[in-house]
Structures are given as C-alpha cells and as structure tokens.
C-alpha cells in the first residue's frame, strides 16, 4: 500500500516534470520560430550577398548559397542536371546538346559510354548544386566604395558627438536629480515636453541658422555641436537612474569635503555605468545611422559623407541585386558587432518608472 502510493506520487511528479519539460520545449520552440520569421529578411540579405550573379538569377537554385556542378567533356564545360530515366533512377548527367523535345546527355561517371539520348524537355529538369560561398561581391563592393574613408568620417562624427552627449547629458541629469532649484519642476516638465517635439518644426529655422547665420553648411558642426547641449530623452533616462542611487553615499562624500563635481565623478558615475553605457550605445546607433542632418548639411561635400549617407545612393549606382544586399550587410555590420559585444550591458538597467515625476 505504502509503496504503491509513493509510486503513484513518483509517477505524478514524473508526469508533472514531463509536462513542465514539454511546456518549456514548446514555448522555446514557438519563440524561436517566431524569431526565425522575424529575422528571415536578414537571412535573405546574407544569403544573397554570398551568391554569384548567375546563381541569383537561377530560379532552381537552392535556398542556401550554392553553385551549379559542371562537367568538362572534350574541352567544353557542361552543366549537370538531375535526369530521371524510365527505370525510376535519377542520374546526374551533363547536358551536351539541349533540344526542345529530346536532348543528349553525358554521364560523368561513365564518359566512355558516349552521348545518351533522353526524351523530354530539359527545361523542366533541376540543376545539380553543391554548397559554395561566393565572396566576390564583398571584394567588388570594397573596390567600388571607399569604405575606409567613409568609416573614418562616420567615426569622427560618432566620437565627437558621443563625447558631447555624455558630458552634457550626465551633467544635466545630475543637476535634475540632486539639486533643489527654484522652478526645477517646471524645467523638468519642459524637458519632458521637448522629447515629443517633432523634428520637422525645428528643421527650417535650424537650416537657416546653420547655413545663413553660421557658415556651417558642408561641415560637421551641425551634426556635432547640438550633442554638446544634451538630449532630452537621455537626460530623462539618466536622471531616473541617478535618482535610484541612494543619497547616503554622496552626502558622505560631501561631508568629506567633496564638491558637487567630485561627487558626480567619484560617486554617481561609477554606480550608473550600465545606464551610461546604454545611453552611449543608443547614441552610437543613432549617430551611425544618422541621415537627416547628413543629407542636409553634407550634400555639398562628398568627401565628408558618412557610411549611412553613402548607402543612400546605392540604388542609383547600378549595382546588381546581390551586390546591393552586400552593401546592406556592410552598412549594418558595425552596429551589429557593437550590439553583440555590448549585450551584457545594453538596456539591462533601464527600469523606467514614472515619466511624469
């Protein structure tokens, strides 16, 4: 009796385990399939960038990068086809003399048998492919586009703008999170309000300011200088994070005679590293992909153009479709590498509480 009940209990925990396992497996499988569909356009991009032009146009080519097998017969190269014969066997034969109703093939395994006649339309036959990665698109686009130069331009803008945004946003967020300022609540309300201001409203006057009042057309200044004045959304995120840091530590530092700047550098910043890294990364992605300002102010200086800007002209370059996809890979490669290197930190600490407060 006793053993039976314990057995039953055991079996019920076993079924529970089995259920849990099935649940885990099903859920994980479902999300992975969803992810696969979600990212399938990216796999199309990668696969296409690894195809040759002939292979891209070949509708019978498999989904993976592959090359048609060929066979050299009497000094001429012929393509291999999967040829079914009446006895039910499918042979990999090379097509020597194509013709509409019946064609002549050669068996690469037994070339001594000579040409084989086969009745049927050769156009309905599938080719024989083997997996092969074709790297030439990358070599060609590297030759056609001056990537080192574009990379250097993008890097200059990103580094300077990053310095500006971090210095200013950290300082302003510190000001908002730690100081009693008359009218501070109103200023914070203004900050939140500026987040939602559409870009188009400031477009025309900024353009007038940067090109007429300041001689900044065709320079990096319109892209870099605004970063030194902070960005409302980053200030908001950092301020939220700074407020979650206990004040005991900075009060202790103040008592030890540390000034506000010293407290910021030695107490606040070390504790807010994940949030600061997130802001730095967000700003990196935004600046790297930035196109509005670049197309407004750098259009007259082709030598200053950025990677994102150059990609805008790709469709007009007359690239073949596979090279176009290669260009897309080149464009997103650097942000993706940065994202994967930083996934440990990225957005990990971004717990947003009240937006109104």
Partner 1 sequence: MFNVKRAPAPRSRSPKPDKHLSLRKYEATVGFLFLLPWLLGFLFFKLVPILAALGFSFTNFKMLEPEATRFIGLTNYLTFFKDSSAGASLFGSISYFLLSVPLEMVIALFLAAVFTSERLRGKRIMRTLFFMPSIIPAIAIFIIISGLIDVNNGWITRLFHLSQSTPLYSLFPIILSLWTIGPGFLIMLGAMQAVPKELYEAARVDGAGPINRFVSITVPMSSPAIFFSLVINMISAFGGVALLDRGLSYSQSLSPMESYITYQMFSFSNLGYASALAWIMFILVMVVTIILFRSARYWVHFPEESSDDEI
Q: Which residues, numbered 147-206, are part of the site for partner 1 (CB under 8 A)?
A: 167-168, 171-172, 174-182, 184, 187, 190-191, 194-206
Tokens 């150059």 sit at which residue? 310
Spatial contact of 115 and 96, defined as CB atoms under 8 Å apart: yes
Place of tokens 């097998």: 69
Kindly state whether residue 296 participates in binding partner 1, applying the rule CB under 8 A.
Answer: yes
Q: Is 242 in the site for partner 1 (CB under 8 A)?
A: no
CA distances from 26 to 11, 38, 39 (A): 22, 18, 20
Smaller CB separation from partner 1, 41 or 257: 41
Contact letters (x/-) for partner 1, 67-106, by CB under 8 A? ----------------------------------------
What does the per-residue mask of binding to partner 1 show for 311-350, with x meaning CB under 8 A? xx-xx-----x--xx-xx--xx--xx--xx--x--xxxxx
Q: Decide if residue 19 touches partner 1 (CB under 8 A).
A: no
Residue holding tokens 């097509």?
Answer: 95
Residue 106 Cβ vs partner 1, minimum distance, rounded to whole Å: 30
Place of tokens 């039910």: 88
- DSSP per-residue codes, 288-301: HT--HHHHHHSTT-
Applying the rule CB under 8 A, the residues between 39 and 58 that interact with partner 1 are 39-42, 44-45, 48, 56-57
How many CA atoms are closer than 13 Å to the CA of 233, on its beta-carbon side? Answer: 10
Q: Counting contacts by CB under 8 A, is residue 292 touching partner 1?
A: yes
Nearer to partner 1, 86 or 246 (CB): 246
- Which span (99-107, 113-121, 208-216, 265-273) binds partner 1, by CB under 8 A? 208-216
Q: Contact between 271 and partner 1 (CB under 8 A)? A: no
Q: What is the CA radius of gyration of the chain?
A: 32
Interface with partner 1 (CB under 8 A), residue total: 104
Q: Does 258 bind partner 1 (CB under 8 A)?
A: no
Work out the number of other CB atoms within 10 angstroms of the CB of residue 330. Answer: 22
Nearer to partner 1, 125 or 294 (CB): 294
- Is residue 124 near partner 1 by the rule CB under 8 A? no
Q: Say whether residue 9 binds partner 1 (CB under 8 A).
A: no
Cβ of residue 253: shortest distance to partner 1, in angstroms?
A: 14
Cα torsion 159, 160, 163, 165: sign: negative
Q: Binding to partner 1 by residue 214, rule CB under 8 A?
A: no
- Minimum CB separation from partner 1 for residue 124, in Å? 17
Is the CB of 205 or the CB of 215 nearer to partner 1?
Answer: 205
| Residue number with CB closer to partner 1 (14 or 193) | 193
Q: Which residues contact 11 (CB under 8 A, 6 or more apart)?
A: none
**260 lies in the site for partner 1, by CB under 8 A:** yes
φ, ψ of residue 289 to 5 degrees: the values are -90, 0
User: Does 16 participate in binding partner 1 (rule CB under 8 A)?
Assistant: no
What is the rounded distance in angstroms from the CA atom of residue 263 to the CA atom of residue 267? 5
* Residue 125 interacts with partner 1 (CB under 8 A): yes or no: no
Q: What are the strands, taking DSSP E only, across the chain?
A: 66-68, 70-73, 76-84, 90-97, 102-106, 116-119, 126-127, 129-131
Whole-angstrom distance, CA of residue 94 vs CA of residue 71: 6
- CA 29 to CA 36: how far, in whole Å? 10
Judged by CB under 8 A, which stretch of 125-133, 138-146, 149-157, 290-298 contacts partner 1?
290-298
- Measured CA to CA, the distance from residue 162 to residue 155 in angstroms comes to 10
Instruction: Please report whether residue 123 would count as binding partner 1 according to CB under 8 A.
Output: no
Residue 240: how many other CB atoms lie within 10 Å: 20
- Nearest distance from residue 52's CB to partner 1, in Å? 13
């Amino acid at each position: 009796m006793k053993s039976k009940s314990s057995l039953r209990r055991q079996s019920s925990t076993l079924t529970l385990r089995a259920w849990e396992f099935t649940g885990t497996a099903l859920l994980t499988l479902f999300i992975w399939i969803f992810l696969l569909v979600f990212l399938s356009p990216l796999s199309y991009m990668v696969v296409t960038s690894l195809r040759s032009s002939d292979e891209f146009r070949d509708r019978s080519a498999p989904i993976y990068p592959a090359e048609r097998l060929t066979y050299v017969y009497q000094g001429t190269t012929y393509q291999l086809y999967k040829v079914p014969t009446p006895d039910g066997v499918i042979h990999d034969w090379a097509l020597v003399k194509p013709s509409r109703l019946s064609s002549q093939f050669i068996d690469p395994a037994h070339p001594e048998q000579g040409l084989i006649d086969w009745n049927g339309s050769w156009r309905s036959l599938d080719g024989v492919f083997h997996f092969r990665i074709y790297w030439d698109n990358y070599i060609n686009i590297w030759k056609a586009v001056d990537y080192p130069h574009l990379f250097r331009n993008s890097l200059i803008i990103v580094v300077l703008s990053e310095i500006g945004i971090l210095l200013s946003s950290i300082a302003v967020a510190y000001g908002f999170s730690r100081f009693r300022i008359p009218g501070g609540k109103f200023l914070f309300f203004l900050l939140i309000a500026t987040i939602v201001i559409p870009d188009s409203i400031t477009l025309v006057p900024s353009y007038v300011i940067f090109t007429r009042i300041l001689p900044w057309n065709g320079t990096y200044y319109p892209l870099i200088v605004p970063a030194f004045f902070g960005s409302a959304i980053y200030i908001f995120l950092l301020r939220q994070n700074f407020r979650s840091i206990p004040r005991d530590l900075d009060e202790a530092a103040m008592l030890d005679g540390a000034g506000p700047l010293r407290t910021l550098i030695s107490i606040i910043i070390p504790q807010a590293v994940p949030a600061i890294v997130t802001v730095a990364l967000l700003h990196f992605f935004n600046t790297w992909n930035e196109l509005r300002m670049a197309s407004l102010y750098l259009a007259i200086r082709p030598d200053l153009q950025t990677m994102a800007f150059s990609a805008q002209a790709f469709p007009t370059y007359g690239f073949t479709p596979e090279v176009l996809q290669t260009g897309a890979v080149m464009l997103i490669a650097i942000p993706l590498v940065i994202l994967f290197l930083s996934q440990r930190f990225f957005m990990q600490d971004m717990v947003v509480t009240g937006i109104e407060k």
